[in-house]
Structure 1
Amino acid sequence: MRMIVRMFIVWTLGMLAACATGQPRGYVDASAWSANYTEDYIPRFWIQTVDGKDTGLAGVQVQEFSRGGKGGRECCSLISGVDQTIKIVWRVGGRQDDESQWKTYSRDVVVKGAMPTRKDAYNILMVRFFSDHQVEVEVIPDRGEPGDAASPRVDKLFYSQRVMRHMGE
């Protein structure tokens, strides 16, 4: 019994130490937001490490640009940060199509943006889908405090403005 108690104490102290030191260097805790600048309906996407391990961060029901062009906001996961490469995998299919007819695409993408400077920042990992099955990813640190202006890097689609964006903007 003492052995179990000791192991539990060691495990607890290890977890507390990990939390106290914060996230690993080069990683960011972020929520996934998605913007779609195509007429493809994206029922699902997920984020992996370059070697194919799931990060736990995903998104669903990313609307076509003509229908608003955005998906839900999915919280949160520790992911590779700016200037690191991640893999975006997504499904494209018609709303009435059987899932067996959907197509799957994946791209290795270098994360753009800026790393947060505040530990309590609310970070966004913006996943943007473009024509020809291209995708880009940007870390947007701290979207703004309540009452403050939102980050200008957040796509206008999230403010009900259908403004077309292009890769690299």
Structure 2
Amino acid sequence: MLYVEIAAMLCACASARSGNYVTASVSAVNYSEDYVPDFSILTAAGERTGMGGIQVQEFSKGGQSGTECCAPIPNAGRTMIVEWRIGGRQEAESNWNTFRKAIVVRGETSSDPKATNYLVVRFFPEHQVEAEFMWEWTGPHGQPSPRLDQLLYGRRVMRQMGD
């Protein structure tokens, strides 16, 4: 089951908070037909956090990326900057376009050591982006967050900004 695989990847991440930051893993989903070769998460001041992802597939090709673990990133309710590039798979990198957008992170995190925090970055048509924190209990009785995108389970269910 995909949930078990996701939980296994996320269990290595601590859920401890440090001020306005939380240590979490990051995944991305794509509701557009733009291929996102890479993206980065920056602080509101533009400093790199060391987190991001690569190869975010187009919606028609599954719409997801892998999961990156773990680093302190701006917590829910805080502002972060998402910087991403889009380009064709066969295009030269010099033809790719870079976008950068400051967003307020939605969702909630947990400081419980038995919980895992993760951030889902969502890409939408017209170069829109949002990010949402979720948490869930780890272990055999943990349940996936109801806010988790169906794309992560291999189901192509469209989502809109703000859903």
Equivalent-residue separation in structure 1 for 2:144 and 2:115 (angstroms): 13
Aligned to 1:128: 122
Residue type matched to 2:85 in 1? R
Equivalent-residue separation in structure 2 for 1:41 and 1:166 (angstroms): 18
Question: Would you say how many aligned residue pairs link Structure 1 and Structure 2?
Answer: 148
Cα pair 1:48 1:54 within 8 Å, conserved:
yes
Cα pair 2:105 2:132 within 8 Å, conserved:
yes
Aligned to 2:83: 89
Structure 1 length-normalised TM: 0.83
Moved runs in structure 1, 4+ residues, more than 2 A?
Answer: 142-149
Equivalent-residue separation in structure 2 for 1:144 and 1:137 (angstroms): 22
Equivalent-residue separation in structure 2 for 1:162 and 1:39 (angstroms): 13
Structure 2 length-normalised TM: 0.86
Larger CA deviation: 60-69 vs 143-152? 143-152
Residue type matched to 1:164 in 2? M
Structure 1 portions without partners, runs of 5+: 1-21
Aligned to 1:43: 37
Structure 2 portions without partners, runs of 5+: 1-15
Which structure shows the bigger proportion of residues in helix conformation?
1
Cα pair 1:123 1:143 within 8 Å, conserved:
no
Instruction: Tell me whether 1:166 sits opposite 2:160 in the alignment.
Output: yes
Structure of greater relative contact order (alpha carbons < 8 Å, 6+ residues apart): 2
Give the Å deviation of 1:99. 0.4
Coordinate RMSD, CA, aligned:
1.4
Query: Which entry has the higher C-alpha Rg, 1 or 2?
Result: 1
Cα pair 1:144 1:151 within 8 Å, conserved:
no
**Secondary structure of 1:90 counterpart:** strand
